[in-house]
Chain A
């Protein structure tokens, strides 16, 4: 352990004497005098229970905080009495509200908690035995699951990496991204289980994709990491999930994708609202975010590796015969176009309409489709 404390509490004789006194019933009770103004906190909507937003009162409300938190350097909960002079410095680097906040983050957190599901019991695994899936489709599906399980690992790690850098006063954001870690871990689990469920198992991992994913993990700021992961990456993956539901071999996989797409869409909404909050309140970051996205959008194309694209084509066309492949190429081209269109719409909503003009994605998409079509000709 590299932490050297200023006190060795195990040898604190004053405290040991106090404990001995307390055990004799001699309490100080001075802390009772610190009782504070009382607030009425109750569920606004009894159907929802006591929500985070119901607790936004007086000094406990995020709006009661200054834009930059300077006093709390430890893990004091927002609104608690802060013993500044003796507080250890845990080194939070995200102390400005615009660093992390998102419109409606309280609602996303409550929604996340409410819409959790269980991979083991909420996917009808027992029904898989009812369907006879052609082997080439099963292998293609397992190749897709391999990539998705890989992708979801980074989506678990990025929020985990940044959480302890956030000032503890931003509890709603820390709570939401913790729920995201659980969501993403569940996604990695469901794709792993599906790959194994029919005996084919996990197939080829992608070095190319892992380089793209490393770019997400190594973003220089939380906002950069968030716009890359939540808006760009998960936006693309959300459309990929929709496509995967569309081309799923059986209703079992359809159920799986219905459930994962719900989580993914919630993360996308948080990312969009964080980007919007940042653009509305700290527009000086616009140039930096645009330069970052110029690189990130190129890097993202690493996600499209040849095994994954071919697997999607085989699944989309339901086979490997030329007519199947032709249909598959059309289906994959259509969903890639949708990924890009929806990404630009989200950027525009968040206040970055210029992405549509400066993004390298359209050109890269044209190149990819042309290459696929040439290969099939």
Chain B
């Protein structure tokens, strides 16, 4: 069954896959961060993904008022999220230009929004885990909003 992107169900399915793949995520190590995913477009959405130890323990949709609790937010237009996820689905992992780091490093395609530099640094402390979380979309059937 196709999952709609963006949606809470989509991110919960990635979380379910992460929590089921204990071997991969234990190998990567502890990951403790609350990450925001903002999808820009006609109807923007902001999701909070809570990572604890080896799991993604919570996925919620947030109003802007709740953003202060996030360590950092990855923010991009819906089309860019789609390109990234399509790349993951096509290759099993993102093509070099579609890794989270490459997308967010230079230019304004994907922005990293943060209040606290230590929260910002968590993106890099846990980069391999967060990338692996998104790579779980490799064989997901997605319905684009």
Contacts and interface: CB of A to CB of B under 8 A. Distances in A.
B122 to A, nearest CB: 8
A182 B28 CA distance: 17
Contacts of A268: 121
Given A110-B30, A269-B118, A346-B117, A262 B125 contact: yes
Interface stretch (A163-171, A239-247, A301-309): A239-247
B66 to A, nearest CB: 22
Interface residues on B, range: 20 to 34
A114 B29 CA distance: 5
A137 interface: no
Interface residues of A, number: 39
B99 A273 contact: no
A331 B121 contact: no
A243 B131 CA distance: 17
Interface in B56-112: 93, 96, 99, 101-102, 105-107
Contacts of A48: 30, 53
B101 to A, nearest CB: 5
Interface string B117-140: 110111011111001000000000
Given A262-B124, A349-B117, A115 B28 contact: yes
Nearest to B125: A265
Nearest to B124: A265
A348 B114 CA distance: 14
Contacts of B28: 115
A292 interface: no
Nearest to A108: B125
Given A111-B29, A246-B106, A269 B53 contact: no
Interface stretch (A89-97, A248-256, A362-370): A248-256
Given A245-B102, A246-B106, A111 B125 contact: yes
B125 A248 contact: no
Those 6 A-B pairs whose CB atoms lie nearest each other, nearest first:
A115-B29, A265-B124, A114-B29, A114-B30, A265-B125, A47-B53
Interface of B: 28-30, 32, 52-55, 93, 96, 99, 101-102, 105-107, 116-118, 120-122, 124-128, 131
Interface of A: 45, 47-48, 107, 110-111, 114-116, 238, 242-243, 245-246, 248, 250-251, 254, 257-259, 261-262, 264-266, 268-269, 272-273, 331, 334-335, 338, 342, 345-346, 348-349
